[in-house]
Amino acid sequence: MRTLVTISLVTVAISLVACKRGMPEECTQYLAQYDCFLGKMNTPGKEVTIETMRTAWTEGSKTGAGRSAVLQACQQSQAQMASKFAESGCGGAQ
């Protein structure tokens, strides 16, 4: 029984670490909306812009403090762009 509990705890710990490697879900949602918005604005180089943000935020999310900072940046960006996303029809893009 003890071995089973230990294995379960190790599995949960590994899963949590794996989840922390990517950026927060809020950032993924923001980037989807931003990608939609830039597409509607016919912004040149939008793919590079989105990929640069995704890479920076993913790298920044690799530590606890970095992940918190990235999440805060995503939430602030979302709040600033919410009306523009809604006006362009990109408010629900995912």
d(CA 61, CA 82): 23
Give how many domains the chain has, as a whole number. 1
State the pLDDT at residue 46.
94
Answer whether residue 15 is part of any domain: no
Answer whether residue 54 is part of any domain: yes
Q: What separation in angstroms does the CA of 2 have from each of 8, 11, 13, 39?
A: 10, 14, 16, 54
Token representation of residue 92 = 């629900």
C-beta atoms surrounding 22 within 10 Å = 15
C-beta atoms surrounding 85 within 10 Å = 19
Answer whether residue 5 is part of any domain: no
Per-residue confidence band for 92, with pLDDT thresholds at 50, 70 and 90: confident
81 and 53 Cβ atoms separated by less than 8 Å: no
Q: Is the pLDDT of residue 94 over 90?
A: no
Q: What is the pLDDT of residues 6-59, one digit of tens each?
A: 443 333 334 344 444 699 999 999 999 999 999 999 999 999 999 999 999 999
Answer whether residue 42 is part of any domain: yes
Prediction pTM value = 0.73
